[in-house]
Amino acid sequence: MELEDLIKKFKEYSTEDTTKLEYAWQFSLEAHMDQKRASGEIYFIHCAAVAEILVDFKMDLETIAAGLMHDVLEDTTVSHEIFKKEFGSEIYELVVGVTKIETLKFSSRDEAQAENWRKMILATAKDIRVIVIKLADRLHNMRTLNFLTKEKQLEISHETLSLYAPLAQRLGIFHLKSELEDLSFKYLHPDEYQNLLAKVQLRFAKREKLLEEFKQGVEKHLGGTQIPHRVLSRAKNLYSIYRKMLKQNLPFEDIQDALGIRIITDNVINCYALLGTVHSIFKPVIGSFTDYIAVPKMNLYQSLHTSVMAPSGEIIEIQIRTEEMHHTSEYGIAAHWRYKLGESGADHHLDEKLNWLRQWMEWLQDLSSPREFIESFKTDLELDQIFIFTPRGDVKPLPVGSNPLDFAYAIHSDIGDACIGAKVNNKMVKLDCELKSGDICEIITRRNSAPKKDWLGIVKTAGARSHIRKYLREHGELKD
């Protein structure tokens, strides 16, 4: 990619002056002048590729400049003082954040690895843009992994699959998560990857005609509604099919890998109107409807999900969402960084949208042992969620495996602290009883009741554990 192309793409969504970006390009090019990549190419090609990925995410100018220079402090002779003087503290802090992550090793299986995860998340907590740059860096490295030794390929792929792909998913950057997973899968299980790729391509070729017919059928019926919409077909992520095969212990041929399409429209009211239209044309599959618009996932994801039966007997998964929701589902947290200039771009709800992430970071900082930190981190990375209702009909999303104590703390820390029992669907249950999506959970509290030490072994979520530890510490029942 050339500088002119980068500037052109950036100007498609931002009105910021690009002088600093042009200078960052030149500065990085000169700093890395004598370095080569494993492929034999000049090193700067990697820096430009990272910047291009960040422009695709529509990130702000500071992030893209930091992406261009993310290896300058670590890999060149440029001093911290000179860098800060040339580019100011905001870009400097972003590059320092990425450099700190660069020096951490995640491939070992010991306490040191857990401590490194903690350091990485805390570096991210200061400025979420640090991890977005790191993910862009990792994506380009995975795309060019074929130039490294087999041993290095396996080490980097394992780290990508166990840390970076789940993190991309937790941040809602699905488009990145899928590519990271598939690239890791290609190196970790090359035979299975090639085999599955061939089968998926064959199946897709056969189904493309069916998908086209279905899209035309939808278009024909929606044409008369005057509702603005576009219909996209959805490619399946290979690694998710592979995981499904392992989980269900089934060969590819038996996997109910439904065809997927997305219908994108302009506003929420039209999402529901389109859902009604689709259900009036095609027979809905009972129990397949989920409303993530009314109850968004923890990572801001919103869509209506339904499955219908095509005239051919095939099941088709449909997601209906607005353009903004679609952008969020592709780019997640990155979609909410708005350009500082141009009021049309300002996102007034950014703080609210990032609040869950900040709170999550705070909870994780409170955990004492690195191992405990990792366990909580992994639980909270799980994106399989259950939705639990209060008796008044309020709903709380929780990770799979959560129990009434987690639910109590999700409502409010005071409710959690005073909890003495719980009813699920009107029946008394133990506090460690596993909740299922759709359960109505009533928390029974008593004034002056207090958290017990053994609760730390029961709760699954970082938030609940953090509140319990805080209370026990304040009351001298827990040493740091």
Could you tell me the end-to-end alpha-carbon distance of the chain, in angstroms, rounded to an integer?
51
Helix (H, G, I), strand (E, B) or coil at 118: helix
Of 22, 75, 115, 257, which residue is the catalytic one? 75
Pairing of strands 419-424, 427-429: antiparallel
151 is catalytic: no
Q: Phi and psi dihedrals of 88, rounded to 5?
A: 85, 170
Check if the beta carbon of residue 94 is closer than 8 Å to that of residue 133. yes
Instruction: For residue 291, give the 3-state DSSP assignment.
Output: strand
Of 325, 319, 321, give the one whose Cα is nearest residue 300.
325
Q: Which of 16, 34, 62, 74 is catalytic?
A: 74
Does residue 75 have an active-site annotation?
yes
For residue 41 the two structure tokens come to 């190419």
What are the distances in angstroms from CA 167 to CA 131, 144, 163, 178, 288? 9, 21, 6, 12, 27
For 447: left if phi > 0, alpha if psi spans -120 to 50, otherwise beta; the answer is beta
User: Number of H helices and number of E strands within the chain?
Assistant: 20, 11
Pure H helices in 103-128 = 111-126
Q: Do the bridges between strand 395-399 and strand 385-389 make them parallel or antiparallel, or are there none, so unpaired?
A: antiparallel
SS3 letters across 330-395: HHHHHHHCCCCCCHHHCCCCHHHHHHHHHHHHHHHHCCCCHHHHHHHHHHHHCCCEEEEECCCCCE
Catalytic residue set: 74-75
